[in-house]
Amino acid sequence: MRWWRRSTPDPSAVADGLRDRADHLALTRPETPEALAAARDAAAAAAELVRTVGDLAGRRRLARALWRETSALLLCGRGHETEGPARRCWETCTLLLAARGLGDAAQDDELTGEVVGYLGVLTAACHAYGRPEDVPRLLAAGEAAVARSAGPRTEQARARLDVFPLAPAADAYAAARIAGQWPLVALETTRAVVVGKRAAETLRRHAHEGPTEVVEFARALQLVSRLLCVSDRIEESASALDEAITAMSGWARRGPSLAAFLQGLRAERAGLDALLAHRARRGGA
């Protein structure tokens, strides 16, 4: 008679499986208790793995899992609960950045890209739990990380950081134009367009990698479009949105958040069509 011993599951494989489930639910069922529970399970498994092993790979898993948990809380409207996972995520990210220089240049490049990639969610969490004054410190750490690294992921990180200020800048420049102060911000707006286009070019190279990356690319184009609109370069603004819509069209069916983002892009594009039609009528009058 042969006896079989049941094998013990590999903790790393278990943690990765829980991560994949959390990623799937974040895409297909965001804003649901199930997605939040899956994110928390993944974070708990990653934390246990770090506690028992504590290697660099485990810390990278933990940072990503805590980022996902923070994102899930934000999407569920529970931003006031994000402080714990967000702070633990950043503490782990700090350890990852400190580990640069211990491996090869490619690993350093990967670590820089990962950490900066988490800043969008972490800065949103700062606002949600009432510590917006922490945002400049996080962004400054990202800037310092990029300055001390090189490679394709660092270039991607540079583009991500460049996109951060574009949304408030577009709003401020639009307000200035409405207030009759366009000459004061015209040059700044032109410079912002250049920065946005450069960032979009970099993010385009990564748009095929997944939903996060394609949204980042389309979002950069959306902000460039807004800056061009403020600059009264409406045809160029429309072209930028057209490219963003094309990029998102193949992804929208994969999840409701992606579909909602695409719908928003199309609504903005319809507004530009209305503006162009109005101008055509006025020009032909």
Report domain extents, the chain: 14-158, 165-285
Q: Quick one: how far is CA 77 from the chain centroid?
A: 18
Write out pLDDT tens, residues 94-130. Answer: 999 998 876 688 999 999 999 999 999 999 999 999 9
Query: In what helix (H) or strand (E) does residue 105 lie, and over which residues does it extend?
Result: helix 105-117
Q: What is the pTM of this model?
A: 0.89
Q: For all residues of the chain together, what is the average pLDDT?
A: 92
- Distance (Å, rounded) from C-alpha 237 to C-alpha 222? 9
- Assess contact for 198 and 210: CB atoms under 8 A: no
**5: pLDDT strictly greater than 70:** no
CB neighbour class for 220 (10 Å; exposed up to 12, middle 13-18, buried from 19): buried
